[in-house]
A and B are shown apart, each in its own frame.
Chain A
Amino acid sequence: MTLFGIWELKKLALRNLTRHKVKTILTLAAIMVSVALYIVLNSWLGGMAIQSRRNIVNFEIGAAKLQTRLYFERKDEMPSYETFLDWEIFHEALYREGYVSAPRFVFSGTLFSQSGSAPILFHGINPAAEKEVLRYAQYVDFGRFVQDGNFEIALGTVAAERLRVGIPTRPLRLELEELIASVARSQAEADFIRSLYDITPSVRRGGDIFSTEERIVEGNERMILGRNASQADLDRYWNIIAASGRNDVRINAIIDIKAAPEMIRRHRWENELWPALRPEDRVLVAAAYVYEDFMDAYHLVEQDERQLNLILDAMIRAEYAGAIRHVNQLMDVVVVGVINSPAPLPNGNTAFIPLDVLQDRAGMMLEGGVTELIIRERGVPDSRLPGQSESSAVITAALELGLASMGRTLPDELAVFVWQDYMQDYLGYEALQTGAPQVVAGLLLFLSFLVISCTILLAILERTKEIGMMRALGMTDRQMIMLYMLEAGFLGFIGSVLGIILGCIINYPLVKYGIDFSAMGDLMDGGIGFRTTAIFRSMWNVPIIIGAGIAATLLSSFMAFLPTRRAVKKPITDSLRFE
């Protein structure tokens, strides 16, 4: 019998599993549960990771952004002064080469409503172009998405609830009555609004904690916006609220713009600016300013716009604060829609406002500048994550080609950065979140292999005499080891098959239906967590499922190696005498 002829002993290996049925069943159960848990955890976390990545690409960033290199370096500070002009040219160049893009001016500020205020991340957007790249505009729960030329914004649900604008979905009864009192112009409107809500009574136990007496807490009842309310009802409700002025809000933002200072005090020149400038920039700056004794300050004398831009870049590089002018801006707008998308970021403390209003009519001195152009390959399905065709190098090459066809070139200060460049925090979180449970599941899997090892060890101890007899009959050491590895491999294989079946049974509803986490929406405010809201779905990761089965079988088999090798080192006569 050859080494591989050991397969002929499969019957013996399988029969050995029947010697102690309870022990075999317990060992199989340990493998089954571990394999199932490993498969479910992997599929679940894999599903969330894929869904999150899709949401980042489809609802937050697109595949890539065109930005100035300086903006990217300081992206955490959102330097609104780092803008670029003529986005339409880049948009057209990209379109010619098969990419869609959308301009944005991103800034932070505070939004005030009649009821409160909230810090908001504002996105000045071109609605038509934005819809080409991102999908959140399709998820306007109430009202509509913003339109060009109007002083209006769309808010995330979190911000809307915080500012108490739009239609409240789960107010307390007293809060709803206050709303009705402030927005309803007639009893009919008041009754109409009340009719849209279902009441969930607020019940409190009376007396001490042992009391069974229950009482209704007046006014504290939770009102739930009826699921059956028609779109026409909701539109009417929205219009009643809008007509009351409750949706009118005020933006307060400080917009930073770059401007070469007209005058620089000598002590700032000497202590802050001059030491921080690069030697080659000092010549440039020194030529643009003249010292005046009577003011004890340097005055700007350079008029040439190109030179002034170079001076500004030098000052920005030197991080000279005097080159940034902070302009406080106030703007009154109306909330026209509330966004509730499958991704948390657009639903959070986020607002979308037409870019043309910011550029032309709001007097924000943006002068046509945008902070970024978000990019996606034209016509790709939303389910597809960016691949090679949406890498930085390929998009840059396409952009350069498109610009060349228009007789233009890509300015040095602009570069294409892919979505991963902005999502390092998230990707780190994802690796941690998907890695840690896998380590735990892996440990559990390893523990089940230790159980197998113990099972085989006990079997070998119990069958010492039998091993001696088999060796006396002519089995070689290798054949003995292979026989027990085969036995452990069968254990692993059967346990894995059962584990795969159990894992698939558990995973099936998680893939088909998922778990609804929408109640946790507030907690997932587009931070660094998984970028999905509402329903989390698992996925089918076939390589992982098959791999787990193969790995469990091979590892189980391997677990028999050491104990068996030890057993065959024992002299045959000692084995035969063993009691």
Chain B
Amino acid sequence: MTVVKAENVIKDYGLNDQVIHALRGVNLEFQAGEFAAIAGPSGSGKSTFLHLAGCIDNLTAGSILVGGKDTGKMNRTQLAILRRQSIGFIFQAYNLIPVLSVEENISFPLTLLGIDKKEIRERTNQVLKEVGLDGMAKRRPKEMSGGQQQRVAIARALVKKPALILADEPTANLDSKIGREILELMLALNKSAGTTFIFSTHDTMVMDFARRLIRIRDGQIESDEIKG
């Protein structure tokens, strides 16, 4: 089943009276359960593609279908609901809410979905175990290491069981040992839950872990390799 389908995607930015062509006719398709990385140097357009696939930025031309829905034809509220229901985000800087505890951070997307408290508690506890943070539910983010915070961010993305998780350079702020642990965790979750993961990265370790590696340069796909 196709989770994301990008057709001739063009994205231009205006910067100081200049037009930056971030993506120049990108065509990509991701199937359910993929564990893919988009790699490329800074400014290559990998994060831009991730933002477009995550419906947090607008296309200049082309189309992106998420779960078969054309995001270009949706308004702001419809896009917000699509993100809420179907897409999980993992950010480089974790972006946790500092005044909420670990379990509150994780359950935040479920609260937005209007799920009842009992189910929220069950799902939060389950995902806490999955990411290895059992027993840290009441801690605040500032009381945790970077790796632990990223685990919380992964748990927050996973808890609503989305079809797609987008991770924007998830290991960039972590040392290689912790980075590897995080990647192993995500891979395990990918295998166990069948969730599609798409990373943007220029970290070779992430590229090694990925089952599909897409290289992008100057806004165009340079290579698209599926590993054995």
**Contacting pair B108 A473 (CB below 8 A):** yes
Assess A471 versus B56: contact at CB under 8 Å? Given A2-B114, A15-B99, A18-B99.
yes
Q: Does B111 contact A (CB under 8 A)?
A: yes
For the complex, what is the distance from the CA of A479 to the CA of B91, rounded to whole Å? 22
Q: A1-B112, A473-B108, A576-B95 are in contact. List 7 more A-B contacts (CB 8 A).
A: A1-B114, A18-B99, A471-B56, A476-B77, A476-B81, A572-B57, A576-B56
Say what secondary structure dominates the interface of chain A.
helix
Q: Does A466 contact B (CB under 8 A)?
A: yes
**Contacting pair B89 A477 (CB below 8 A):** no
Question: What band does the interface of chain A fall in when counting residues whose beta carbon is under 8 Å from B?
Answer: 20 to 34
Q: Does A321 contact B (CB under 8 A)?
A: no
**Set of chain A residues within 8 Å of B76, measured between Cβ atoms:** 476-477
A52 to chain B, nearest CB (A): 52
Interface residues of B (CB under 8 A from A): 51, 54, 56-58, 76-77, 80-81, 83-85, 89, 91, 93, 95, 97-100, 104, 108-109, 111-114, 156
For the complex, what is the distance from the CA of A479 to the CA of B109, rounded to whole Å? 13
The stretch that binds B, out of A6-14, A110-118, A323-331, is A6-14
16 contacts between A and B (CB under 8 A): A1-B114, A8-B114, A12-B99, A12-B108, A15-B99, A465-B93, A469-B89, A472-B56, A472-B83, A473-B108, A474-B80, A474-B112, A474-B113, A571-B56, A571-B57, A573-B57
**Set of chain B residues within 8 Å of A15, measured between Cβ atoms:** 99-100
B57 to chain A, nearest CB (A): 5
For the complex, what is the distance from the CA of A573 to the CA of B54, rounded to whole Å? 11
For the complex, what is the distance from the CA of A478 to the CA of B91, rounded to whole Å? 24
Instruction: List A473-506 residues whose CB lies under 8 Å from chain B.
Output: 473-479
**Set of chain B residues within 8 Å of A573, measured between Cβ atoms:** 51, 56-57
**Contacting pair B109 A572 (CB below 8 A):** no
Assess A469 versus B95: contact at CB under 8 Å? Given A2-B114, A11-B104, A573-B57.
yes
**Contacting pair B99 A19 (CB below 8 A):** yes
**Contacting pair B54 A472 (CB below 8 A):** yes
**Set of chain A residues within 8 Å of B51, measured between Cβ atoms:** 572-573
**Set of chain A residues within 8 Å of B111, measured between Cβ atoms:** 1, 8-9
B89 to chain A, nearest CB (A): 5
For the complex, what is the distance from the CA of A273 to the CA of B213, rounded to whole Å? 115
Q: Mark A236-262, 1 if CB is under 8 A from B, else 0.
A: 000000000000000000000000000
Instruction: List A539-579 residues whose CB lies under 8 Å from chain B.
Output: 571-573, 576
For the complex, what is the distance from the CA of A477 to the CA of B51, rounded to whole Å? 18
Assess A1 versus B113: contact at CB under 8 Å? Given A474-B80, A474-B84.
yes
Q: Does A409 contact B (CB under 8 A)?
A: no
**Contacting pair A473 B99 (CB below 8 A):** no
A73 to chain B, nearest CB (A): 69
Q: Does A16 contact B (CB under 8 A)?
A: yes
A578 to chain B, nearest CB (A): 11
**Contacting pair B112 A473 (CB below 8 A):** yes
Q: Mark A432-457, 1 if CB is under 8 A from B, else 0.
A: 00000000000000000000000000
Q: Mark A506-529, 1 if CB is under 8 A from B, else 0.
A: 000000000000000000000000
Q: Does A5 contact B (CB under 8 A)?
A: yes
Interface residues of A (CB under 8 A from B): 1-2, 5, 8-9, 11-12, 15-16, 18-19, 465-466, 468-469, 471-479, 571-573, 576
**Contacting pair B91 A474 (CB below 8 A):** no
For the complex, what is the distance from the CA of A475 to the CA of B97, rounded to whole Å? 14
B218 to chain A, nearest CB (A): 20
For the complex, what is the distance from the CA of A19 to the CA of B97, rounded to whole Å? 11
For the complex, what is the distance from the CA of A572 to the CA of B83, rounded to whole Å? 12
**Contacting pair A474 B81 (CB below 8 A):** yes
**Set of chain B residues within 8 Å of A5, measured between Cβ atoms:** 114
**Contacting pair B77 A477 (CB below 8 A):** yes
A394 to chain B, nearest CB (A): 60
**Set of chain A residues within 8 Å of B57, measured between Cβ atoms:** 571-573
**Set of chain B residues within 8 Å of A476, measured between Cβ atoms:** 76-77, 80-81
Residue of A nearest to B113 (CB): A1
Residue of B nearest to A480 (CB): B80
**Contacting pair B97 A474 (CB below 8 A):** no
**Set of chain A residues within 8 Å of B56, measured between Cβ atoms:** 468, 471-472, 571-573, 576
**Set of chain A residues within 8 Å of B108, measured between Cβ atoms:** 12, 473
**Contacting pair A473 B109 (CB below 8 A):** yes
**Contacting pair B80 A471 (CB below 8 A):** yes
**Set of chain A residues within 8 Å of B156, measured between Cβ atoms:** 473
For the complex, what is the distance from the CA of A474 to the CA of B114, rounded to whole Å? 12
**Set of chain B residues within 8 Å of A478, measured between Cβ atoms:** 77
For the complex, what is the distance from the CA of A471 to the CA of B156, rounded to whole Å? 14
Residue of A nearest to B99 (CB): A15
**Set of chain B residues within 8 Å of A477, measured between Cβ atoms:** 76-77, 80
**Contacting pair B97 A473 (CB below 8 A):** no
Contact of A466 among B58, B84, B95 (CB under 8 A): B95
- Find the residue from B57, B91, B95, B156 having the highest chain A CB count within 10 A: B95
**Set of chain A residues within 8 Å of B85, measured between Cβ atoms:** 474
Contact of A473 among B83, B98, B114 (CB under 8 A): B83
**Set of chain A residues within 8 Å of B77, measured between Cβ atoms:** 476-478
**Contacting pair A473 B100 (CB below 8 A):** no
A137 to chain B, nearest CB (A): 69
Residue of A nearest to B89 (CB): A472
For the complex, what is the distance from the CA of A16 to the CA of B98, rounded to whole Å? 9
For the complex, what is the distance from the CA of A453 to the CA of B227, rounded to whole Å? 55
A388 to chain B, nearest CB (A): 54
For the complex, what is the distance from the CA of A5 to the CA of B98, rounded to whole Å? 22
User: Top 5 nearest A-B pairs by Cβ distance?
Assistant: A474-B84, A15-B99, A469-B95, A572-B56, A1-B114
**Set of chain A residues within 8 Å of B114, measured between Cβ atoms:** 1-2, 5, 8
**Set of chain B residues within 8 Å of A572, measured between Cβ atoms:** 51, 56-57
**Set of chain B residues within 8 Å of A9, measured between Cβ atoms:** 111
For the complex, what is the distance from the CA of A471 to the CA of B79, rounded to whole Å? 10
Residue of B nearest to A579 (CB): B93
For the complex, what is the distance from the CA of A208 to the CA of B7, rounded to whole Å? 98
B107 to chain A, nearest CB (A): 11
**Contacting pair A16 B99 (CB below 8 A):** yes
Residue of A nearest to B95 (CB): A469
Residue of B nearest to A16 (CB): B99
**Set of chain A residues within 8 Å of B91, measured between Cβ atoms:** 469, 576
Assess A12 versus B89: contact at CB under 8 Å? Given A472-B54, A477-B77, A572-B57.
no
**Set of chain B residues within 8 Å of A11, measured between Cβ atoms:** 100, 104
**Contacting pair A12 B97 (CB below 8 A):** yes
B118 to chain A, nearest CB (A): 14
For the complex, what is the distance from the CA of A5 to the CA of B81, rounded to whole Å? 15
- Find the residue from B80, B91, B93 having the highest chain A CB count within 10 A: B80
**Set of chain A residues within 8 Å of B83, measured between Cβ atoms:** 472-474
- Find the residue from A8, A474, A572 having the highest chain B CB count within 10 A: A474
Residue of B nearest to A465 (CB): B95
**Set of chain A residues within 8 Å of B100, measured between Cβ atoms:** 11-12, 15
Residue of A nearest to B117 (CB): A8
For the complex, what is the distance from the CA of A8 to the CA of B100, rounded to whole Å? 14
Residue of B nearest to A575 (CB): B56
For the complex, what is the distance from the CA of A314 to the CA of B132, rounded to whole Å? 107
